[in-house]
């Protein structure tokens, strides 16, 4: 076990719980792209528990970090032999700290590309998992297709042996796997996307078909892409958090993670080369993940987006602080109950009321204290997945009269707040801020800059439906745009929404 506990640990507020398996006996059976905080709090946490079972020790994780920006974390984890601490923060103010050892191998593609490619080809690796972010699958919002004209994708098609994308890495690794006769494999997305396995299949298969039709035919027979639903709130770990966590835990960890106590993972049981017994450590295996992911994306993720921009404009920088503002808590709960619940059939054996109450408690967890800026980040990739599907249903029901008294005020307010956030970049208190929304296009920025607020409804994130053709929504949205500009986001929330 790596020595992450410092000399002053006896005086620390928390005790670090180590793992109880012999790490030298663990073999990597999973290769993971995207060794970030969420992965280390979710899949690695569950797998770390699984490795306590001596029949499951062929399921360690090999991390593949392929971005230049991964350098700091890679070197920190490498220095610690892949080990790190996870601080789990309870809603009851309890804390449990774990030292995790499931990451038994780690490579950085900038320096160790061949090791990653050969690992994918290895017969030991049975599953490739992914946390490459919602926007990382390179799917066009306009066409719904994988974008072959992306510069990095085009590079990988022309230079298959020297890939730069996860898609290119997997293609070259599987080409070597096929040549070696090392058998089938599963590619399992752990990103917050509806039917993430279907999205992963489209992305990987489109690139491979453009690059190598023989490999594509082999993949059709030998690779599965299960859908999964993941859930655990895991904030970014900033330098101040590293210092705080080490002081609190009596550790000297250069790559600590902290997260909430809630965890959920629902996985379709469709594995081509076997799988870990994840169900023994809390995962739910199912034939169809649809109802679970619809519930989570529509309630948790959409509510996160809903509260993010008004809260940020209102001067809040921590999610828990925002949720302890009665105005924001009522706003979020009304959205869950009145706008979303009619479109979310509860999965079997799920109490939807209890689930919603749990969400409110989780958002207000002061021990986690997630950043509002993290929720605001990359809204252009979040709206199409979390907000638009149910808004489209609301608009259709309003137009047809299927539902009486469809209310658009909360969603219209969200869109007006998002526009204000992007266009003016100043909050209600007069404090300026920078926007991080990398998937906005040049045309999107023109629409944001336009003084005609209707133009904003045509940005790429919203093109799955014609929002301008929804008169009740548009009327409220235009009023909210003017009122937020005149009075501020929180005053509008008080006067017109609650």
Q: For each of the chain's 498 residues, which pLDDT tens digit applies?
A: 778 987 667 777 788 999 999 999 999 999 999 999 999 999 999 999 999 999 999 999 999 999 999 999 999 999 999 999 999 999 998 999 999 999 999 999 999 999 999 999 999 999 999 999 888 999 987 788 999 999 999 999 999 999 999 999 999 999 999 999 999 999 999 998 889 999 999 999 999 999 999 999 999 999 999 999 999 999 999 999 999 999 999 999 999 999 999 999 999 999 999 999 999 999 999 999 999 999 999 999 999 999 999 999 999 999 999 999 999 999 999 999 999 999 999 998 899 999 999 999 999 999 998 899 999 999 998 999 899 999 999 999 999 988 877 899 999 999 999 999 999 999 999 999 999 999 899 999 999 999 999 999 999 999 989 999 999 999 999 999 999 999 999 999 999 999
Which domain range does residue 242 map to?
9-286
Virtual CA dihedral for 239, 244, 247, 252, nearest 10 degrees? -30
Q: What is the CATH number of the domain that holds 156?
A: 3.40.50.720
**Does residue 43 form part of some domain?**
yes
Pair 69, 218 in one domain? yes
CA dihedral 255, 41, 165, 218 (to 10 degrees): 140
Residue 1 located in a structural domain: no
Domain-ending residue, one of 229, 261, 286: 286
Q: Looking at the structure, tell me whether residues 86 and 130 fall in a common domain.
A: yes
Instruction: Tell me how crowded residue 311 is: count the other CB atoms within 10 A of its CB.
Output: 29
Residue 189 sits in the same domain as residue 324: no
User: Into how many domains does the chain fold?
Assistant: 2
Within this chain, do residues 237 and 301 fall inside the same structural domain, yes or no? no
Residue 258 sits in the same domain as residue 295: no
Same domain, 85 and 38: yes
Q: 144 and 264 share a domain?
A: yes
The answer to whether residues 342 and 412 belong to one domain is yes
Judgement on whether residues 74 and 223 belong to the same structural domain of the protein? yes
What's residue 9's pLDDT? 72
Query: 370-403 b/e with 16+ CB inside 10 Å = b?
Result: bbbbbbbbbbbbbbbbbbbbbbebbbeebeeeee
Does some domain include residue 173?
yes
Residue 335 lies in a domain: yes
Q: Which domain-ending residue is among 286, 309, 344?
A: 286
Domain boundary among 235, 251, 286: 286
For residues 249 and 304, membership in a common domain is answered with no
Under 8 Å between Cβ of 117 and 125? no
Q: What is the CATH number of the domain that holds 327?
A: 1.10.1040.10
Q: Is 231 exposed, middle or buried (0-12, 13-18, 19+ CB in 10 A)?
A: buried
In contact, 327 and 494? CB cutoff 8 Å: yes
Same structural domain for residues 325 and 218? no
State the virtual CA torsion across 203, 206, 207, 211 in degrees, nearest 10.
170
Shared domain for 173 and 81, answered yes or no, is yes
């Amino acid at each position: 076990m790596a020595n992450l506990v410092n000399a002053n640990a006896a005086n620390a507020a928390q005790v670090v719980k180590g793992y109880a398996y012999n790490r030298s006996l663990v073999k990597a059976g999973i290769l993971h792209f995207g060794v970030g905080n969420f992965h280390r709090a979710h899949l690695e946490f569950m797998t770390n528990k699984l490795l306590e079972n001596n029949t499951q020790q062929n399921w360690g994780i090999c991390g593949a970090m392929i971005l230049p920006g991964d350098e700091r974390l890679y070197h920190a984890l490498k220095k610690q032999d892949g080990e790190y601490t996870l601080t789990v923060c309870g809603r009851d103010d309890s804390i449990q700290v774990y030292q995790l050892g499931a990451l038994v191998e780690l490579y950085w593609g900038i320096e160790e590309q061949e090791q990653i490619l050969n690992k994918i080809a290895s017969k030991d690796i049975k599953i490739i998992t992914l946390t490459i972010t919602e926007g990382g699958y390179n799917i066009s919002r306009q066409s719904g297709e994988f974008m072959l004209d992306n510069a990095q994708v085009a590079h990988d098609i022309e230079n298959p042996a020297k890939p730069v994308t996860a898609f290119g890495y997997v293609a070259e690794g599987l080409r070597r796997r096929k040549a070696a006769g090392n058998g089938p494999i599963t590619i399992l997305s752990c990103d917050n996307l509806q039917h993430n396995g279907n999205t992963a299949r489209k992305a990987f298969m489109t690139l491979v078909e453009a690059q190598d039709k023989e490999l594509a035919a082999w993949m059709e027979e030998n690779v599965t892409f299960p859908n999964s639903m993941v859930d655990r709130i895991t904030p970014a770990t900033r330098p101040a958090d590293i210092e705080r966590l080490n002081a609190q835990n009596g550790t000297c960890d250069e790559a600590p993670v902290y997260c909430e106590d809630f965890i959920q993972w629902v996985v379709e049981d469709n594995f081509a080369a076997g799988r870990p017994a994840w169900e023994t450590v809390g995962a739910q295996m199912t034939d169809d993940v649809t109802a679970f992911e619809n519930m989570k994306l529509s309630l948790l993720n959409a509510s996160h987006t809903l509260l993010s921009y008004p809260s940020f404009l209102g001067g809040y920088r921590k999610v828990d602080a925002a949720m302890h503002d009665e105005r924001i808590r009522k706003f979020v709960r009304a959205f869950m109950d009145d706008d979303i619940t009619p479109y979310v059939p509860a999965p079997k054996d799920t109490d939807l009321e209890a689930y919603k109450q749990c969400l409110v408690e989780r958002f207000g967890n002061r021990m986690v204290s997630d950043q509002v800026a993290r929720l605001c980040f990359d809204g252009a990739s979040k709206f199409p997945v979390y907000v638009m599907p149910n808004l489209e249903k609301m608009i259709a029901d309003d137009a047809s009269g299927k539902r009486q008294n469809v209310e658009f005020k909360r969603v219209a307010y969200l869109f007006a707040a998002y526009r204000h956030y992007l266009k003016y970049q100043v909050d209600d208190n007069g404090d300026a801020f920078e926007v991080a929304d990398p998937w906005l296009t040049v045309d999107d920025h023109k629409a944001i800059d336009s003084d005609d607020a209707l133009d904003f409804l045509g940005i790429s994130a919203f093109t799955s439906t014609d929002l301008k053709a929804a008169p009740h929504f548009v009327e409220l949205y235009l009023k909210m745009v003017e009122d937020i500009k005149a009075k501020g986001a929180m005053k509008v929330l008080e006067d017109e929404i609650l």
